[in-house]
Amino acid sequence: MTTEQNHFAYALSSNDAWAGYKSNQNPNFFSKLAAGQAPKILWLGCSDSRCPETTILGLQPGDVFVHRNIANIISPTDINTAAVIEYSVAVLKVKHVVLCGHTCCGGAAAALGDGRVGGVLDTWLTPLKAIRNIHREELESIQEEKDRAIRIAELNVQYGVKVLMANITIQEAIKERGLELHGCIFDLTTGRLKDLGCGTSKAIAGSESQLGDLVRVQDAQLVIGDSSAKMTIAAV
């Protein structure tokens, strides 16, 4: 058996153990999950394997509707992104849209350079390189390469939020039912989310996240307030 097959076999075994644990913890967990979904959050993030949204947020299957791509680029002409937004916002009626970038992003690092990545990736990263060109003076003034990559990742989120704010489905939901839009950065070195203060509301000083709602999950409640969050276990 090859190393790759070993990894997959381990994943299957791990899944079996997880399913057994969840069923034992809450016998109704999977039947409720199969009955339908009512996520409160749409997460638009990077495909990076180190940024699993449900794990980052401490939530459960069914709590977060997800769309991820290389470098979390939001393009108004991307029909994939548009379809995810329309379904989650107009049909599922999520309460929050979160656009999240992250530190140590390979796409951000690639956009800072002039070399070719190869294939379709060069085309995909064009909007990020455009952001680099617009902010070239600021970015070149940052001495540390890792700090430049973090800064362009932040700028990418800010520009993405502007694109999202121009989306008609999001505009209508903001006007009609108070949909909230948030721009964040996930710090891989600390595991914390940073609210960049762009979107429908400003960042709260001292807070790591501003979802401002009670997110109910099958086995627990993650309560996110103005300056803190706590996890409480719900009755099974």
Residue with the bigger pLDDT between 214 and 169: it is 169
Q: Phi/psi at 112 (nearest 5 deg)?
A: -75, -20
Mean pLDDT of 18-40: 97
- Please give the positions annotated as active site: 46, 48, 50, 102, 105
The rounded percent of the chain whose pLDDT value lies above 90 is: 81
| Lowest mean pLDDT segment, chosen from 56-60, 112-116, 200-204, 226-230 | 226-230
Give the chain's domains with CATH numbers.
37-209 (3.40.1050.10)
| Residue 102 among known ligand-binding residues | yes
108 band by pLDDT with thresholds 50, 70 and 90: very high
- Report the distance separating Cα 133 and Cα 127, nearest Å: 10
46 marked ligand binding residue: yes
pLDDT given for residue 3 in this prediction: 63
pLDDT of residue 1: 61
pLDDT tens digits, 66-107: 999 999 999 999 999 999 999 999 999 999 999 999 999 999
Ligand-binding annotation for 48, yes or no, is yes
Using DSSP bridges, classify how beta strands 96-102 and 192-199 pair: parallel, antiparallel or unpaired: unpaired
Q: How confident is the model at residue 209 (pLDDT cuts 50, 70, 90)?
A: very low
CB-based contact 181:161 (threshold 8 Å): yes
Angstrom distance (rounded) from CA 188 to CA 210: 19
Residue 73: half-sphere exposure toward Cβ, Cα within 13 Å: 22
In this predicted structure, the answer to whether residue 149 has a pLDDT above a threshold of 80 is yes
Joined together, the tokens standing for residue 40 give 């409160």
Residue 182 marked as a ligand binder = no
Q: What sign has the CA pseudo-torsion 117, 122, 128, 129?
A: positive
Q: Over the chain, what is the mean pLDDT?
A: 87
Name the phi and psi angles at 42, rounded to 5.
Answer: -100, 120
**pTM score, whole prediction:** 0.84
